[in-house]
Amino acid sequence: MQRGIALFGGVFDPPHRGHLALARLALTALPIDRVRLVIAGRPPHKNVGERTSGEHRLAMLRLAIGDDRDLEIDTRELSRSGPSYTVQTLREVRAEEPRRELFFLIGGDNIRSIRQWYQAEEIFSLARVVAFPRPGSTLRFRPEDVPFLDETALDRLNRDLVPGPETPGSSSEVRRRVANGEPIRDLVPDAVANYIEHHGLYLSPC
């Protein structure tokens, strides 16, 4: 039987060690043989505009994963005009991979806002949603967090919780440090740090 595929979406502005740690943790925690990092075009649920071009973000993501064959990049959302919806991506991947189980990876903090996403209920029917709470968290979802899930689906969501990796950092922290002239190599791979420096990215305050 074929193993599943996990989709891990993000703006990756820039990709950092935490992104990579979560993807690799998923490979050991779930019955999957690869993780697709879906680089977002224009996420409709983000309140800020795109800071960095898709070309730069894609180049940095390629540098971040290097030759890791268990991780692959999916660029379909970059090619779309207008807002980029997760449910649309899941529909397309489901049609392309009808025999594989699909997993959708999401940070634990984002589950409580997922009901605001476009056709959020369908996301749970297209893929097995796996949330990664922050390390040490005692997070457990309640009916009011995802009111469209029945008791069985909510129980499964809570059973599928995987504690997030210990690797620190966030894209906003990387941008803040660069703007302040602080080191970032503990947060991003060296190749990404070199790219940021070479292209003069994130020099203005966030």
Check pLDDT > 70 for residue 50.
no
Mean pLDDT of 64-87: 93
Annotated domain spans of the chain: 4-168
Closest CA to 192 of 177, 8, 107: 177
Q: What is the dihedral of CA 26, 152, 86, 19, to 10 degrees?
A: -20
The pLDDT of residue 143: 92
Q: How confident is the model at residue 110 (pLDDT cuts 50, 70, 90)?
A: confident
Q: How confident is the model at residue 44 (pLDDT cuts 50, 70, 90)?
A: low
For residue 147, give Cα distances in angstroms to 112, 129, 190, 191: 10, 15, 43, 43
The domain defined by 4-168 carries CATH number 3.40.50.620: yes
The pLDDT of residue 17: 96
Check pLDDT > 60 for residue 35.
yes
Residue with tokens 């989709």, as numbered in its chain: 7
The pLDDT of residue 206: 59
Contacts of 4 (CB under 8 A, 6+ apart): 30, 31, 32, 33, 100, 101, 102, 103, 128
Check pLDDT > 60 for residue 111.
yes
